[in-house]
Each structure stands twice: as structure tokens, then as C-alpha cells.
């Protein structure tokens, strides 16, 4: 087959996608638009009013790839990106891929301790970061023994990424790769709080963009995508970058904090046709709509993922705004959504049906498929799943078994085959759609001199969404529990990512434990 031929039309499902044997995914997502005449079409608009055309994107991607090569990076080397949602994110990500270098977008809400771990774990060659994150990133770099070839701030001053790329040529021949070669990584949190690098191949983004983006959402050239979830999440990466790029559409980049006011502002000013949120955001937007209003007339629909969308939020949203929310489940390991509702087929309280091209089975503890209606663990199979976890054979072998990806989620299927979420099979929880490890919060709590031991569990708030609750055994009795709660809250807020603090504190005299001393978190959840 010819180099870079790929059969794309909206009816193609992934099993029918043919990849050429020599293939660099940046050519289909970036270079293709020049050949197809979109040079002057706007690809990106930032909420600060910066517009980037497909032509400018193409040139800056090439310059970025050339810069990374000039800095001495070789095929397969990693660069970490602690970069806010901005055009620079696109230039770095695609420039690296085109030059054969592996970009690793990192959660920008993390702290220096987390960054230090990831720098060491990835053995990366370079780190590029937005100035907003310089304090935590620079502290991490100074802590690690691993030597970096370079670190660059994206913008600000002379020796920064955006200045350096000006010196580069805008022509770059793509490094040849195969569809299954390592392309980019995304870190996913583990139960112990230690992130795992999920290694994705060149074909992953094509599969998610075609299957879910084009086939389920019908993203087309006229669409304008706005993702409240940031680009460093697999969810945001698809919503805000690969889906619009795949279809020659436009994305809105907003680097601020997504809350009701800011997202309503963006929706009214930039008129997206697709809005991607998470359940906590929809819940707080609904709350805000009791006293405020927002013009949603530009929206075709909204999409929710990250955690289960309670039926009550979906129904109230429809009532209030006259628009639909599609709930779908995805993961970092699968790259994007593999079970989803559809616009003409929405079941509130259900994740929907399989996205064509993926397979699923629900199994019991022996790996045997359960009968319809029974709960079990959800395994999925598809062409967009990650190849392995970097540097972690044990976790790879636990998660990817004979080509099936263990999601760690409990599911059941109703009589018509719709998938219904039944919780996690481990202790991990999702807060605002982002992983929270109880273990990590507990470890932080026990660092405090007044704390003997702690257990953190998921508790539902009034809207049915999960937040961490801390059960703390104090070393000595303290009468002013309000005061100690405030102290422990501040203790958690410094040193943990900002969404990981406990929303409630309980002070039992002891924690329920198994005979072997393992904390029985589930017993605390029943209370
Ligand atoms: C949970 C859901 C119920 C579930 C993600 C869309 O969330 C994403 O990726 P993560 O790796 O987490 C994966 C886990 O999150 N989950 C996600 N969506 C739902 N549970 N209903 C849902 N709709 O536990 C899953 O295993 O952070 C979401 C697209 C790409 C993604 N990476």
C-alpha cells in the first residue's frame, strides 16, 4: 500500500480502517489539512482571542519538531509536558511525534513530589512547562538525580520554547514509524498513588477519533469543540484536540479553571457546538442556573465522562437547557470512550452500548463470563488500547490479559444490553472526574503529628457525586474538632493536588480492620 493512505469516511468503523505499513500519525492529523485545502481555516481559537490556522499549526509543528531534534533528542526519547491548554501544547505534542520523539502530557494540577516521581520514572530527556507551573516543576527538577538534556518554559523570556522555535525551519520530514510503534504516553494514577505511564501507539488516536469522535458524535468540519476537561487528560486530549483535528473542525482553548461562570462565559462568547464536561461540573452548572442564565443555543449536545452521570443530573439538565448530555465511559488505557449513549438513544443512569469496534465482556472472579443481569468486572478489547505500562511489567500483566483490558470497574447489562455502572472493583475513587487514591490522602493525613491513623472513603454528596471523606484516629483526644479539621484540611491542601482534600472529617476511636490488619474501607462506607 502507498505511504499514508488511510480510508476515512464517516461510516467506517475501526476494524475497517487500513493503515499503511509506514505511517506517522502526525501526517494524518496535521499535514493532511494542507493537502485538503484547509491552510487558512482556523484550527484553534483561544479564549484570549488568539487564532491559529491549520497552515500556522502545520508550520509550528514542524518548527517544534526541528527544535527538539536540535536540542539533541533522538527517536524514542521522552519529553514531559506540563503545559496548559494553549497552541503550544499542540506544537509540542505533534512536533515531537513527527520527529519520532515521545510526548508525555502531564496533569498540571500535580505537585513537585509527583513531578519528581514522573521525571525519574519516565527517564525523560526534556521537560517543557507553562510559566504558571514553574514553581512545582522547577522544585521537582532540583530534587531528582536524573539528568535532563533540557528544560524549557513555553513562553516568557528569550530562552523559551516559543522564542526558540522561531529560529527553526518550517519544513520537517516525518520520522517513519509503523501504526503499532510507541507514539505518546499518558500517566494514569494507581491505587498506591504512584502513576503508571500508559504507552499508546500511533494508531490509537486514529481509532478513537474515527470510532467515537466521528461515528458516535458525528464531529464534522463545522463543529466547534469546547472541553472543560484539560488536554493532559485522555478525555480532554480527544475532545479538545484529536477529534476536531481529525475532522478539520475548530477547538476552543480555555486555560482557566472550569467553573459555572467561566464555562458559561466561554459558551456564550465562543459558541461551541459540542461541550465536554464531567458530572461535578454539570451539577454545579445546574446549581448556578437556578439564579443565572446561559445561552446554550449553539450546542448540538454535551458529553459527560470521567465518572458516572447520575440520572437526576441528566434529566434536570435536559429540562433546564433543552439539550442532551451523552454519558460514556472511557479510560486513559483505552484512550477514550468505548461504551456510550447516543443522541437518539439515551438511557439516563446507564453508560449506554458498546462503541462499534470495541468488544466487552463482564466476568466473575474466575474470569468466567457472568449471565445477563449479573454484576462482574468489565473487560474490554479494542484497537486504541495502550500497549503496556512503562517500567511496570507487573501492572501490565495484571491489567492486560490475553488482549483484554481490565477496566477495574464493576458493570452489569440490563435485558436490552445497556451497560450499567456498579462501582470500582478497587478502592480508587473519581472526584470531579479525576482519580483520587484513598491511600495517598491517608498517607498525607498520617504525616500530621496529631494523627495516629486514617482511612479515606468515597461518600456521595447531595447530588449523588463522590467526594473523599476522612476517618481519622487522633493520637490524643482533642475537644475542638472543628479546629483540628481545619488544620488537617490545610495540611492536605498543601502537598496534595488541589482536588484531593477530604470534604468531611470523622473522628472514630479506631478503624475497622481485617485479622491481617488491612483497613476495611467498605465498612466505613456503610455508615
Ligand atoms: C471511570 C466512568 C462511570 C471508570 C476517561 C473518557 O475517565 C477517563 O479516564 P481515567 O483513566 O479513568 C477511567 C475510569 O473512570 N469512568 C470514566 N467514565 C465513566 N465511570 N461512568 C462513566 N461515564 O472507573 C473508568 O475505569 O481517568 C473518560 C475518555 C477518556 C478517558 N480517559
Closest atom of ligand 1 to CA, residue 233 = 32
CA distance 129 to 108: 9
Instruction: Decide if pLDDT at 3 tops 60.
Output: no
- Residue 4: pLDDT band by 50, 70, 90 thresholds? very low
Q: Ligand 1: list residues with CB < 6 Å.
A: 188, 234-235, 305-308, 327-332, 336-337, 351, 407-409, 421, 424, 430, 435
Measuring from atom 7 of ligand 1, which residue has the nearest CA?
A: 306
Measured between alpha carbons, how far is 463 from 499 in angstroms, rounded to an integer?
A: 17
Nearest to 413 by CA among 343, 347, 484: 347
For the residues 46-61, what does the mean pLDDT come to? Answer: 98
Distance 149 CA to ligand 1 centre (A): 34
Task: Domain ranges for the chain, please list them.
Answer: 46-176, 437-526
Residue 1's pLDDT band, with cuts at 50, 70 and 90, is very low
Cβ 201 vs Cβ 445: under 8 Å: no
Residue 437 Cα to ligand 1 middle (Å)? 15
Is the pLDDT assigned to residue 204 strictly greater than 60?
yes
For residues 61, 65, 70, 71, the Cα torsion angle rounded to the nearest 10 degrees is 100
The DSSP element (H or E) to which 236 belongs, if any, is helix 234-237
Q: Is the pLDDT of residue 439 over 90?
A: no
User: Quick one: pLDDT at residue 191?
Assistant: 61
Contact at 8 Å (CB) between 342 and 326? yes
Tens digit of each residue's pLDDT (9 = 90 or more) over 336-365:
999 999 999 999 999 999 999 999 999 998
Q: pLDDT tens across 456-499, in order?
A: 999 999 888 999 999 999 999 999 999 999 999 999 998 898 88
CA 495 to CA 111: how far, in whole Å? 6
Mean of pLDDT values over 73-80: 97
Helices marked H in 338-419 — which ranges?
A: 393-399
The better pLDDT of the pair 13, 63 is held by 63
Torsion of CA 472, 478, 480, 482, to 10 degrees: -10
- pLDDT value at position 491? 95
Classify residue 37 by burial, with Cβ atoms within 10 Å: 0-12, 13-18, 19+: exposed
Q: What is the mean pLDDT of residues 427-453?
A: 88
pLDDT in tens, 99-131: 999 999 999 999 999 999 999 999 999 999 999
Predicted confidence at residue 14, as pLDDT, reads: 60
Q: Please answer whether residues 211 and 238 qualify as being in contact, where contact means their C-beta atoms are separated by less than 8 angstroms.
A: no
Say which CATH architecture domain 437-526 belongs to: 2-Layer Sandwich (3.30)
Residue 38, pLDDT > 90, answer yes
What is 46-176's CATH number? Answer: 3.40.50.980
Q: How far apart are CA 170 and CA 172, in angstroms?
A: 7
**Do the bridges between strand 434-436 and strand 451-460 make them parallel or antiparallel, or are there none, so unpaired?**
unpaired
Ligand 1 center from residue 100 Cα (angstroms):
29
For CA atoms 14, 16, 20, 21, give the dihedral sign. Answer: positive
Residue 503: how many CB atoms within 10 A of its CB? 13
Alpha-carbon dihedral 187, 15, 28, 328, rounded to 10 degrees = -50
**Candidate of 229, 232, 307, 358 to mutate for ligand 1, largest count of ligand atoms within 8 Å of Cβ:** 307
What is the number of residues in the chain? 527
Average pLDDT over residues 269-289: 95
Q: Give the confidence band of 436 by pLDDT, cuts at 50, 70, 90.
A: confident
CA of 304 to the centre of ligand 1 (A): 10
Amino acid at each position: 500500500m502507498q505511504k499514508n493512505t488511510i480510508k476515512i469516511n464517516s461510516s467506517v468503523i475501526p476494524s475497517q480502517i487500513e493503515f499503511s505499513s509506514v505511517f506517522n500519525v502526525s501526517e494524518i492529523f496535521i499535514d493532511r489539512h494542507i493537502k485538503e485545502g484547509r491552510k487558512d481555516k482556523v484550527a484553534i481559537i483561544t479564549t484570549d482571542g488568539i487564532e491559529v490556522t491549520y497552515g500556522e499549526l502545520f508550520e509550528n509543528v514542524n518548527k517544534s519538531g526541528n527544535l527538539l531534534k536540535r536540542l539533541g533528542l533522538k527517536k524514542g526519547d521522552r519529553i514531559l509536558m506540563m503545559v496548559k491548554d494553549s497552541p503550544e501544547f499542540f506544537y509540542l505534542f505533534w512536533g515531537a511525534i513527527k520527529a519520532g520523539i515521545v510526548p508525555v502530557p502531564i496533569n498540571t494540577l500535580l505537585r513537585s513530589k509527583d513531578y519528581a516521581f514522573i521525571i525519574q520514572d519516565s527517564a525523560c530527556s526534556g521537560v517543557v512547562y507553562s510559566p504558571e507551573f514553574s514553581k512545582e516543576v522547577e522544585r521537582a527538577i532540583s530534587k531528582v538525580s536524573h539528568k535532563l538534556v533540557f528544560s524549557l518554559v513555553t513562553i516568557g523570556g528569550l530562552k523559551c520554547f516559543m522564542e526558540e522555535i522561531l529560529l527553526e525551519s518550517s519544513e520537517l520530514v516525518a520520522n517513519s514509524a509503523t501504526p503499532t510503534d510507541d507514539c505518546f504516553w499518558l500517566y494514569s494514577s494507581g491505587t498506591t498513588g504512584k502513576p503508571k505511564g500508559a504507552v499508546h501507539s500511533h494508531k490509537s488516536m486514529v481509532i478513537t477519533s474515527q470510532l467515537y469522535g466521528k461515528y458516535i458524535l458525528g464531529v464534522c468540519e463545522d463543529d466547534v469543540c469546547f472541553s472543560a476537561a484539560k488536554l493532559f487528560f485522555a478525555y480532554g486530549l480527544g475532545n479538545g484536540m484529536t477529534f476536531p483535528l481529525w475532522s478539520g473542525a475548530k477547538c476552543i482553548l480555555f486555560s482557566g479553571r472550569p467553573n459555572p461562570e467561566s464555562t458559561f462565559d466561554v459558551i456564550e462568547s465562543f459558541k461551541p457546538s459540542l461541550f465536554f464536561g464531567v458530572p461535578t461540573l454539570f451539577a454545579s452548572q445546574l446549581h448556578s442556573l437556578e439564579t443565572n442564565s446561559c445561552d446554550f443555543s449553539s450546542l448540538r449536545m454535551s458529553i459527560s465522562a470521567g465518572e458516572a452521570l447520575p440520572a437526576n443530573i441528566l434529566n434536570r439538565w435536559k429540562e433546564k437547557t433543552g439539550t442532551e448530555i451523552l454519558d460514556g465511559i472511557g479510560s486513559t488505557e483505552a484512550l477514550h470512550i468505548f461504551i456510550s449513549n447516543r443522541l437518539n438513544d439515551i438511557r439516563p443512569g446507564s453508560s449506554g452500548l458498546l462503541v462499534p469496534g470495541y468488544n466487552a465482556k463482564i466476568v466473575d472472579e474466575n474470569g468466567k463470563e457472568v449471565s445477563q443481569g449479573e454484576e462482574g468486572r468489565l473487560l474490554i478489547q479494542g484497537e486504541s488500547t495502550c500497549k503496556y505500562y512503562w517500567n511496570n511489567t507487573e501492572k501490565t500483566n495484571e491489567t492486560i490479559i490475553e488482549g483484554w483490558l481490565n477496566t477495574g470497574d464493576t458493570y452489569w447489562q440490563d435485558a436490552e444490553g445497556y451497560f450499567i455502572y456498579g462501582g470500582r472493583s478497587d478502592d480508587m475513587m473519581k472526584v470531579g472526574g479525576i482519580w483520587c487514591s484513598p491511600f495517598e490522602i491517608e498517607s498525607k493525613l498520617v504525616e500530621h503529628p496529631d494523627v495516629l491513623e486514617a482511612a479515606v472513603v468515597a461518600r456521595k454528596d447531595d447530588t449523588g457525586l463522590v467526594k473523599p471523606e476522612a476517618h481519622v484516629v487522633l493520637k490524643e483526644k482533642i475537644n475542638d474538632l472543628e479546629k483540628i479539621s481545619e488544620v488537617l484540611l490545610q495540611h492536605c491542601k498543601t502537598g496534595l493536588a488541589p482536588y484531593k482534600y477530604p470534604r468531611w472529617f470523622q473522628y472514630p476511636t479506631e478503624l475497622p480492620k481485617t485479622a491481617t490488619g488491612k483497613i476495611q474501607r467498605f465498612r466505613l462506607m456503610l455508615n
